[in-house]
Structure 1
Amino acid sequence: MTTSTSKTVGRRAFLAGSAAMLGAPALAQSVNGDGTVEIERDISKIVRRNVSSFRSLDWRPYFSNLNNGAILVDTTSRALHYWSEDRSTYKLYPTSVPLTEDLTRRGRTRIVLKDPEPDWRPTPSMKQRNPEWPDYVPPGPDNPLGTRALHLSWTYYRIHGTHDTRKIGRRSSNGCIGLYNEHIEQLYELANVGTQVLLI
Structure 2
Amino acid sequence: MEQSMQTKRSFLIGGAAALATPTLLTAPSVLAAQDAPQRNASSFVTQEWQDHFSALGNGAILADIASRALHYWAADGTYRLYPSSVPMSEELTRRGYSQIVRKRVGPSWTPTASMRERDPDLPQSIEGGVPGNPLGTHAMYLDWPAYLIHGTHDTRKIGRQSSSGCIGLYNEHIAELFSVVEVGTQVRLL
Same fold (TM over 0.5): yes
Which residue of 1 is the match for residue 103 of structure 2? 114
1:13 and 1:70, CA in 2 relative to 1: closer, same or farther beyond 3 A? same
Which residue of 2 is the match for residue 46 of structure 1? none
Distance 1:183 1:125 in 2: 28
Distance 1:98 1:23 in 2: 37
89, 94, 110: which one pairs with 1:105? 94
Q: CA deviation at 1:107?
A: 0.1
DSSP-derived class of the 2:114 partner: helix
Identity %: 51
19, 34, 47: which one pairs with 1:57? 47
TM-score by length of 1: 0.81
Which residue of 2 is the match for residue 190 of structure 1? 180
Which one-letter code corresponds to 1:27 in the other structure? Answer: V
143, 151, 154: which one pairs with 1:164? 154
Distance 2:80 2:121 in 1: 37
Distance 2:22 2:45 in 1: 27
DSSP-derived class of the 1:83 partner: strand
Q: How does 1:30-41 map to 2 (within 5 A)?
A: 30-31=33-34, 33=35, 37-38=38-39
1:19 and 1:147, CA in 2 relative to 1: closer, same or farther beyond 3 A? farther
Which one-letter code corresponds to 1:63 in the other structure? Answer: F
Which residue of 2 is the match for residue 17 of structure 1? 20
Q: CA deviation at 1:30?
A: 4.0
1:16 and 1:84, CA in 2 relative to 1: closer, same or farther beyond 3 A? farther
Greater than 6 Å deviation, 4+ residue runs: 6-9
Distance 1:144 1:57 in 2: 28
Determine whether 1:132 maps to 2:121.
yes
DSSP-derived class of the 2:44 partner: coil
Q: CA deviation at 1:10?
A: 5.5
How many residue pairs get aligned? The number is 183
TM-score by length of 2: 0.85
DSSP-derived class of the 2:61 partner: strand
Which residue of 1 is the match for residue 3 of structure 2? none
CA RMSD across the alignment: 2.5
Determine whether 1:199 maps to 2:189.
yes
Greater helix share, structure number: 2
